Amino acid sequence: MGLIAAAIAVGLAALGAGIGNGLIVSKTVEGMARQPEARGMLQTTMFIGVALVEVVPIIGVVIAFMVIGG
């Protein structure tokens, strides 16, 4: 049962991160198309947002290892 819980945790974390990254990048490209002069600021904010979203699957993997090991 622990293996199934670990697989679900990692799978949902990866799915959520993929959707989140897609939304962040699409909105950034949309913002760049509307205001090209704000490109630098938008890219910086996008990279920070992507980094924060990527923390979710890493935490999911840690939780999965805890479930398997415990």
Verdict on whether the full-model pTM lies above 0.85: no
Higher-pLDDT residue of 5, 39: 39
Residue 25 C-alpha from the chain's centroid = 11
Torsions phi, psi for 36 (to 5 deg)? -60, -25
pLDDT at 67: 85
Q: Which CATH number fits domain 1-68: 1.20.20.10, 2.40.50.140, 3.40.47.10, 3.40.50.720?
A: 1.20.20.10
pLDDT at 69: 83
Report the percentage of the chain scoring pLDDT > 70: 99
Torsions phi, psi for 35 (to 5 deg)? -135, 85
* Lowest-confidence segment of 14-23, 29-38, 41-50, 54-63 by average pLDDT: 54-63
Query: Are 50 and 6 a contacting pair, CB within 8 Å?
Result: no
Question: What are the tokens at 35?
Answer: 């205001």
Place of tokens 């945790």: 9
pLDDT at 70: 65
Query: Are 56 and 17 a contacting pair, CB within 8 Å?
Result: yes
